């Protein structure tokens, strides 16, 4: 395991919450912002941070309630997380930046793009890593419709998951969910590290955010995106590759890269196969969509 970076810097959001972030590399170099998913932490991007710091001004931060950031009892909705991102971008005066979102981090970017039109001018490129644009299937859809957008859940399933997170078996439920995000070859050390990072978010806040996150539908945002974009998916992820192909097809000129099973293509491919993941992102940053 790489030396774990620690978010030693902080900003205060417009509603008074302290967000802690990592910033490393050359400040004058191109800016790369790594945005974690639901209940994850900036430190989990350590294999990307250590690589890209040689060529970029690398920033990654903990969402409210996650990692080392403040943990208020409010604000656990994607729109508020997008406002937090906007606060970070404006306070650090980031320009011509590449935003890389993993899982819910993609939803945060979609909300950011939708809500903060003026801030779009600060975005140079986007990378979306393994997130459906609509997580919960409409009951009127056919199974084929749901597969096409990688709607992983039926109505009510996420609410049941949230109830389990609020119950006596929350740790077992979380651990099982996280295990499904990795291939069978993941080490127990890496698995336990991931669990411990997730436990920095309370089960109550995690449950609230999960339900809100899973209820969003971002499909109408996709065609409005007008910057170079790369979409990365995984063959064995909970979010089927069809749904990632759908996203790439809705964004003009977007590239698509699906990690195969042999390439450790599951939800956390950036952790399990960092060399390939970093190379794919690096090629995109250098002008190739692979």
Give the model's confidence band at 175: pLDDT under 50 very low, under 70 low, under 90 confident, else very high: very high
pLDDT tens across 250-259, in order?
999 999 999 9
* pTM greater than the 0.85 cutoff: yes
pLDDT tens across 203-213, in order?
999 999 999 99
Residue 271, CA distances (Å) to 55, 202, 278 in order: 20, 23, 10
The span from the CA of 176 to the CA of 157, in Å, is: 15
The span from the CA of 7 to the CA of 197, in Å, is: 13
- Given a cut of 90, whether residue 42 has pLDDT beyond it is yes
Which residues make beta-bridge pairs with 18?
Answer: 12
Cβ atoms 267, 276 nearer than 8 A? no
- pLDDT of 93: 98
> What mean pLDDT is predicted for residues 72-88?
99
Q: Which two tokens stand for residue 60?
A: 């990654």
Class of the domain covering 9-285: alpha beta
Torsion sign over Cα 20, 35, 279, 3:
positive
């Amino acid at each position: 395991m790489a030396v774990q970076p620690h978010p030693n810097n902080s900003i205060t959001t417009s509603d008074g919450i302290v967000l802690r972030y990592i910033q490393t590399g050359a400040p004058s170099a191109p800016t790369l912002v790594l945005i974690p998913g639901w209940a994850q932490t900036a430190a989990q991007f350590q294999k990307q941070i250590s690589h890209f710091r040689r060529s970029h001004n690398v920033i990654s931060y903990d969402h409210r309630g996650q990692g080392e950031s403040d943990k208020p009892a409010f604000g656990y909705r994607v729109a508020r997380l997008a406002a937090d991102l906007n606060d970070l971008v404006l306070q650090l005066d980031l320009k011509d930046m590449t935003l890389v979102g993993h899982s819910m981090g993609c939803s945060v970017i979609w909300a950011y793009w939708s809500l903060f039109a003026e801030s779009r001018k600060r975005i140079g490129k986007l990378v979306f890593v393994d997130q459906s644009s609509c997580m919960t299937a409409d009951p009127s859809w056919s199974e084929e419709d749901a597969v096409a957008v990688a709607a992983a859940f039926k109505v009510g399933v996420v609410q049941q998951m949230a109830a389990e997170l609020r119950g006596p078996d929350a740790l077992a439920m979380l651990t099982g969910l996280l295990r499904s995000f990795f291939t069978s070859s993941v080490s127990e050390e890496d698995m336990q590290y991931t669990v411990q990072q997730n436990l920095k978010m309370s089960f109550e806040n995690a449950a609230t955010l999960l339900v809100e996150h899973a209820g969003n539908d971002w499909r109408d945002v996709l065609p409005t995106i007008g910057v170079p974009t790369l979409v990365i998916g995984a063959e064995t992820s909970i979010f089927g590759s069809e749904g990632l192909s759908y996203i790439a097809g809705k964004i003009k000129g977007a590239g698509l890269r699906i990690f195969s099973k042999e390439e450790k293509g599951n939800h956390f491919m950036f952790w399990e196969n960092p060399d390939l993941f970093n190379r794919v992102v690096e090629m995109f940053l250098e002008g190739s969509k692979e």
